[in-house]
Amino acid sequence: MPADEDLTSARRAAAEDNRDWGTYALDWVAKYGILLALILICVGLAIGNEYFLSTRNILNVLRQTSINGILAIGMTFVILTRGIDLSVGSVVAFAGVVSASLATTSSTAMVAGGPYPALLALAAGLAVGMASGAVNGVIVSRFAVPAFVATLGMLSAARGLTLLYAGGRPVPALTPEYRFIGTGDLFGIPMPVVIFALVFLLAWWVLGATRFGRNVYAVGGNPHAATVAGINVRRTRLMVYVISGGLAGLAGMILAARTGSALTQAGIAYELDAIAAVVIGGTSLAGGVGRVTGTLIGALLIGVVNNGLDLMGVESYYQQVIKGVLIVAAVMLDQARNRRE
């Protein structure tokens, strides 16, 4: 009998060791797996294509990533509070068209008295984005409508408003001052990349070093406990949607400035790329867990994969397949971590 008990104890100890190793491995992958994946992909592409590591191509990757990265940072705030924002793609188009109409020299597209100073046009675009986000936030926080439903409605409404405002036509001939945010550079660095970096640093500081940032995590982790602790849950939820909408407006203006005209069909399916970057970056769909640095890496990973496939002449359809696989894998990892906790 003692021998049997010793054998059982040994088996239990072995099982515990295996569980500990499994837990450690899962934690390690959750923390560093996405960064390792980005590094390995970059190494592989550098070996496979001589142009990948060229300065021109690196700047191109960063420029292309900037718009999705800005959207993804706003999405991070929302998902941290257990929400979702499906409207950002439509808000990109809406804010871009309204802003561009104040900074165009086209007589058929400008607002009476235009073109106006670029700062006024940019302020108008940010206001449109933040107002759209505020509508989402009020519906979600005050009327307790599921975020999926509320933002899906805004997705349709904002797209319709875009078409109504522009008459279904693009807004061309933007002023050089306005286009600077999309085509200019600062010390050799493209302005979209500079703006993306500033947005990232600000978001990193807000989430990591401010009371509002702590409130965001608390609301996402346990909204009932946050209420008991004196946190205004409604206000916090409202503000994250305002942030998401404002950054969508900023992204829409950068996109319009880059292309030289604001298109009514701009931003279609952009919300999917933003959500993908956030989830791949390790932010939990269950809320309360995630970092904006992970979102940055997730956005870069998507941008690098897209760029690498382009350099290798791979059809764009495969990019969607790979992106889907990455999203599913990230969600599976998130679910496994949630079950363990």
Q: Supply the CATH number for residue 223's domain.
A: 1.10.3470
pLDDT at 331: 77
pLDDT at 5: 56
Tokens 């933003």 belong to 274
Measured distance CA(201)–CA(73) in Å, rounded: 10
> Would 9 be classed as within a structural domain?
no
Domain that holds residue 115: 33-340
> Would 16 be classed as within a structural domain?
no
Q: Extract the tokens encoding 275.
A: 């959500």
> Would 299 be classed as within a structural domain?
yes
> Would 20 be classed as within a structural domain?
no
Tally of structural domains, the chain: 1
Report mean pLDDT in 10-residue bins for the chain, 341 residues. Answer: 54 55 64 84 91 93 96 98 97 98 94 92 98 98 96 98 96 97 95 98 97 97 96 98 98 97 95 93 91 95 91 80 80 70 57
**Comparing C-alpha atoms, which of 12, 40, 81, 74 is closest to residue 278?**
74
pLDDT at 340: 62
> Would 4 be classed as within a structural domain?
no
> Would 219 be classed as within a structural domain?
yes
Burial class (CB in 10 A: 0-12, 13-18, 19+), 186: exposed
> Would 5 be classed as within a structural domain?
no
Is the Cβ–Cβ distance between 195 and 255 less than 8 Å? Answer: no
> Would 56 be classed as within a structural domain?
yes
Is the Cβ–Cβ distance between 304 and 42 less than 8 Å? Answer: yes
Measured distance CA(53)–CA(44) in Å, rounded: 11
Measured distance CA(96)–CA(41) in Å, rounded: 33
pLDDT at 332: 79
